[in-house]
Structure 1
Amino acid sequence: MSKLNLLQKLMLTGVASAITATSGSLLVTPSALAATVFRDSGNIGDTVDAFRAALGDPNNGNAPGSFSVGRREINWDAGIVPFDMPPDFFNKTVTRGAEFSTDAGNEFGVSNPSVGDPDFPDNKFDSLNPTYSGEFMTFSDPRLFTPLGTNVMETNFFVPGSDMPAAVSGFGAVFTDVDLPDITKIEYFDIQGNLLASEFVDPDPQGLSFLGVSFDAPILFNVKITLGNTPIGSNDDPGNNVDVVVLDDFIYGEPNKVPEPATTLGLLALGVFGADLLRKRQPNR
C-alpha cells in the first residue's frame, strides 16, 4: 500500500473530524489520538513555558471574540477578582472564555482578596483554615484558586464574552501541595463527552506541580479536575490519607466556536465525497 499524499490526509482528516462531531460513538479523529502530555513537579517553569509554546502565541488576554492563533491564561491575581468568585467571572466580567461548575453549588474561592473585599484579610485560604498559609505555594504570586464544598470541578469553554460554546486545543493547570500519587488528575473530553485523555498529576508536597495536554486541533470542550481527595477546609494530613490541593494558573488554547450542526454535516458530506473520489482514483491492486 502506498503512503497517503497530502491531499488524501487532508480529506481523511476532514472525514474523521466530521464523524467525531456528529457521532460520539466514533472517536476516530487523528487529532484526538495525537495528544501531547506536559507533566512536571518542583521547578515547573520550563515545562509551563513549553506548554505555552505548544498552544501558541500570543496570549490574547481579555480580548473578546476568537482569534486564529494564540492562547488564554488565568492567574487569578488581578485586584478585581473577588474572594467569592462567580463561576462565569472569567467569561462575562473578564472575557477569557472559561466558565466553571461543580456538583456542590458552583462556589469558588480566590485567596488573598484585596482590601475592601468582605473576606479580607486572607492569606492562601487561611481564613478557611489557619494552617493553610504555610501549606500552599504560589506559582504567580499572590493568589490561588479552589472550588468550595467539593474537590472536583469542571471547566467549559466559550467564545470569550459570549454564550457561544467553544473548543480549545489544550488545557493545563498549576497545582499546589499534591501529596499523594494517582489521585489529583485532569480528564479531557470532546463535545460528545468522549474521554480524550486522563492524566494524574505528579506529587510535590507543599510544592508545585503542572499538568497539561495539547491536541493537534481545537477538539477539547470540557475538562474535569480532581483536587486531592478532600475539599478545602480540612487539615491537610497525607499521613492519614487526607490530601487537600488547590490551584494556581490555568493555561488553555484560544477558544474556537463549535460548528453549527448544518456546518458539521456539510463537512461530513464533503469529506466523504472527497475520500470516495480519492478511493476511486486509486489503481486496482
Structure 2
Amino acid sequence: MKMRAHPTTFLIVLAAAAGATSAASAVLIREINGPDAASIQATVDAFRADLGAPNAPEPVNHPGGRREVNWDAAPDSVSDPNPFPGDFFNAGSFPRARGIEFLPTGETTGFELSSTAASGEPVEFGFDAGFTFFSAERLFTPIGGETFDVRFFDPANPGTPAFSTGLGVVFTDVESADSTTMTFYDAYDNVLLTRSVLEGDNAGLSFLGASFDEAIVARVSIVGGLDASDSVVMDDFIFGEPQAVPEPSSLAVLCLAAVGGIMGRRRAC
C-alpha cells in the first residue's frame, strides 16, 4: 500500500447554509499519514496551533483555545474489559471537565479503551494487531458497530450543549481508502464537511483535523472501528474550546437574522 507520508493542508470556503450562518465559513483541513508518531507530529501540532492554546481540563470557560483527550489518564475501571462511559469526559470536575461526549449510532452499542500492560489485562483489545500509538498506551474504539457521534458541551455546565471550532483525530491502522470518515455538522444538522481519513500501511497512523473560523460545529459523525476486514482504532482527540449554545430566544434571533441575510426576507426557523 502506498503511503502519503507528507502533510496535506486545504483551505476551503463553505457557502452559508440557509438558516445556519449569516456568512461563508472557512475551514482549514490538515491531514497526513505515516509509520509512527514522529512522522505525523508536525501536522498534529499545526492543527493544535490552528485551534489555539491548550486549556486545562477544569470546569472553566475560555473564549478560545483547545482541549484534548488522549485517554491515558483514564482509570482501569473504565478500560478493557470494562465499558467506557461515553460521557466520562463531560463532567464538572478536574480532570474530566473536557466538554466532549461520545454517543453510539447505528449498530454501535458502546465504547472501550484498551488496557495498559500494568493492568494485567490483554492489551490492544486482545488483538494481535500491533497498533501504533500516538500517545501510549490507551486506545479508543466503538464496540458492536463502527459509527458514533462526537458532541460538545459547556465544560463549566456539563448539561449545556456547546459548539466547537473543530476536531482532529489520530487513527491507527487505516488500510482501506474511504473506509474511515469524519462528517461535521452544524446546529441545524447541515453537513459542513465530509472527508475520508488517509489510508496508509498496516498499523500506521493517520491524522485528520478540520478547524473552522468560528465555533459552528455541533457534532461530528465518525465511521471507524474494529471489524474483521479493517480494524481501525483511535488515539488522541483534539478539539476547539466548546462554546455554550445561546439561550433559545437568542438562537431564534440569530436564526432569523441569518435567513434574512441569505434569502432577503425573514422566515421562522
- Which residue pairs with 1:232 in the alignment? 226
TM-score (norm 2): 0.79
- Once the two structures are superposed, residues 96-139 of structure 1 have per-residue CA deviations (whole angstroms, 9 ceiling, x without a partner) of 011111134641111124756xxx4121212xx3x22x2x1000
Distance 1:114 1:66, change over 3 A: farther
Deviation, structure 1 residue 266: 3.8
Select the residue among 176, 192, 209 that pairs with 1:212: 209
8 Å CA contact 1:108, 1:147 repeated in 2: yes
Aligned with 1:138 (options 133, 136, 153): 133
Residues 20, 255 of structure 2: 8 Å contact kept? no
- Higher Cα Rg, which structure: 1
How many aligned residue pairs are there?
234
In angstroms, what is the RMSD of aligned CA positions? 2.5
Report the more deviating stretch, 45-54 or 96-105. 96-105
**Residue 31 of structure 1 contacts residue 216 of structure 1 at CA under 8 Å; is this kept in 2?**
no
Q: Compared with structure 1, are the counterparts of its residues 97 and 106 closer, same or farther at alpha carbon in structure 2 (3 Å cutoff)?
A: farther
Q: Work out the CA distance in 2 between the residues paired with 1:148 and 1:204.
A: 23
Q: Shift of the alpha carbon at 1:67? A: 0.8
User: 155, 166, 172: which is aligned to 1:170?
Assistant: 166
Normalising by structure 1, we get a TM-score of: 0.75
Please, which runs of 5 or more residues in structure 2 have no aligned partner? Answer: 1-14, 263-269
Aligned to 1:112: 115
CA distance in structure 1 between the partners assigned to 2:24 and 2:124 by the alignment: 38
> Is this contact kept in 2: 1:100–1:106, CA < 8 A?
no
SS of residue paired to 1:204: coil
Matches within 5 A, 1:1-285: 25-27=18-20, 29-32=22-25, 34-42=26-34, 43-57=39-53, 59-80=54-75, 82-83=78-79, 84-92=83-91, 94-103=96-105, 104=107, 106-113=109-116, 120-126=120-126, 129=127, 131-132=128-129, 134=130, 136-160=131-155, 161-205=157-201, 206-227=203-224, 231-232=225-226, 234=228, 242-267=229-254
Bigger proportion of residues as strand: 2
Match of 1:283 in 2: none
**Counterparts of 1:268 and 1:152 in 2: how far apart (Å)?**
30
In structure 1, the gaps of 5 or more residues are 1-15, 235-241, 276-285
AA aligned to 2:33 is S
Per the alignment, in what secondary structure is the counterpart of residue 44 of structure 1? Answer: helix
Q: 1:31 to 1:98 in 2, by over 3 A?
A: farther
- Deviant stretches of 4+, over 6 Å: 269-275
Q: 1:114 to 1:68 in 2, by over 3 A?
A: farther
